[in-house]
Amino acid sequence: MIKPQYLGLGLLCAGFLAWFAPSASAQCVVADVSIQAAIHGGDKPAEQANDVTIDADGPCVGNRSVSTNRQIHVGGTGQVRQVRQSSHQIRGSERASSTAGPTVAVPVEVQVDVYNPAERLRR
C-alpha cells in the first residue's frame, strides 16, 4: 500500500517533470518488414535478396509508410530464388511545424535458409 504522503510527492514530481519536459514530436515513420524463408533439399543455398529504397525529402511530420512481406518456400531439390524490391516515398505536411524532423526508418529483414536432406528421398 502506498502511503498518502508518498503518493502526493510522486504526483508533484510527475507534474514538475511534465512541465519542463520537451513535447514529443510526431515525425514521419517508414517501417518495412520482410521475411524470406526457404526449407529445401537443393545443392545450393537459396538466393534471397531484399532491396528497400526510402525517399524522404527534408523535415517531415505526421505521415507514415508501412510494408510487410512474407516469402516462404517449402520442399523440392531445385534452385530457390526469393527476390523482393520495395520502395517508399514519404513527404510531410506542407505547414511549418516545430515538431518536424528527419524521417525515422525501421527496416526489418529476416532471411532463413534451411537445408532438408529428406527432400532428396521424395519421388
- Domain borders along the chain are 24-121
pTM of the model: 0.70
pLDDT for position 39: 97
- What are the phi and psi torsion angles at 67 (to 5°)? -135, 135
Note the residue count of the chain. Answer: 123
Average pLDDT of adjacent 10-residue blocks, the chain of 123 residues: 49 49 66 97 96 89 92 96 96 68 91 94 74
Beta-strand relationship, 104-115 and 47-56:
unpaired
